[in-house]
Amino acid sequence: MKEILDYLPEEYGLNPSFNNNQLAKFIYQKYINDFDEATSLSKDLRAKLKKEFNLMPLKLKNKQISIDKSIKFLFELKDKHTVESVLLPMKQERVENGIKKSAKYTICISSQVGCKSGCSFCLTGKSGLIRNLSSAEIVAQVLFIKKYAQIPYEHGVNIVFMGMGEPLDNLNAVAKAVKILAHNDTLAISPRRQTISTSGLAKQIIELGKMNLGVLLAISLHAVNDELRDKLMPINKAYNIKSVLDAIRQFPIDARKRVMFEYLCLGGINDDISHAKALVKLLHGIKAKINLIYFNPHKGSEYKRPSEERVIAFRDYLQAHGQNATIRQSKGLDISAACGQLQDEQKRLEEVQ
């Protein structure tokens, strides 16, 4: 049976063609649970849809809710493998200058079951790559979370491909998911609100740029020299820092936007002012935004969370030398918010049982 979330509305193959848009709006905007709820479609058509298409390729296996209202979801796929997604509330509903503003959310989604990048600080990569997700499995994470959190269709969200897996290792499915999510008859999430985060696959960065999807790009840098980055991120041996930066310079960026550089601060490893100085030189001439992230410790990790003083000093140095730098405020520290933690906890629980 085919997964309907794998298709753009015009690819559903329904006749007459206007039914494509009607059906898409039932699925993505009215959040139906069953094709029979698409009541404006004929009974015969609904029967055909039920026979040919599956509506949701995943189900909720577990979830954790933080005191800051972040929610970590563990989804079970048809083959019983699991992936994680996170809903991050960024701003509450509010009034600004007499105008009511909607709440703002970011949804962090997975693109693979496991990951082959093998970053030493990441729990997801410990089990290696199991398989790629289909575009339907990627899109379903967003659709499920919007429905679960009762986020109305018209309330936009930001999407970050920064969950489990390396998105550019699954480029075709990720690109298709971007298009489906952006379609006016689905969730209408503009590509400018979708960010693809990569550990630095230079060849695929260039390929993604040629697709001209209009998405934002985030680079997981985490080190300022190849020696350290080789240890932290084995992918650096295939695509060193220079090759990644050369690829970024070819990537089409909206004039109003910047390339995001994610820099995970590891206590005593890469959080010294000397590293900040090297980072300024490294990114010279690139329209960049540097996002400093506190390491979120997990069981068995060799790394420590850096002190607040060191991270603030690091940021201040970057800003004083012309870089756009911010410190990402950690969310979900009281739950298993780091990638792979909830999946790991679930496996441990099932082993005990």
Q: Which residues are annotated as a binding site?
A: 115, 119, 122, 165-166, 197, 220-222, 296
Distances (CA, A) of 220 to 179, 185, 293, 336: 23, 33, 11, 21
Find the catalytic residue in 37, 207, 339, 345.
Answer: 339
- Residue 307 DSSP class: P
- How large is the greatest C-alpha to C-alpha distance in the chain, in angstroms? 68
Question: Can 108 be counted among the known catalytic residues?
Answer: no
Instruction: Report how far residue 26's alpha carbon sits from residue 34's, in angstroms, rounded to the nearest whole number.
Output: 10
Q: Which residues are annotated as a binding site for [4Fe-4S] cluster?
A: 115, 119, 122
Q: Enumerate the H helices of the chain as residue ranges.
A: 18-28, 43-52, 135-148, 171-182, 202-211, 226-232, 241-248, 273-282, 308-320, 341-352
Find the catalytic residue in 84, 108, 137, 262.
Answer: 84
Tokens of 127: 């089990």
DSSP string for 321-342: TT-EEEEEPP--TTTT-STTHH
Distances (CA, A) of 19 to 7, 39, 46, 319: 14, 12, 11, 53
Instruction: Report how far residue 328's alpha carbon sits from residue 10's, in angstroms, rounded to the nearest whole number.
Output: 39
**Residues identified as active-site:** 84, 339
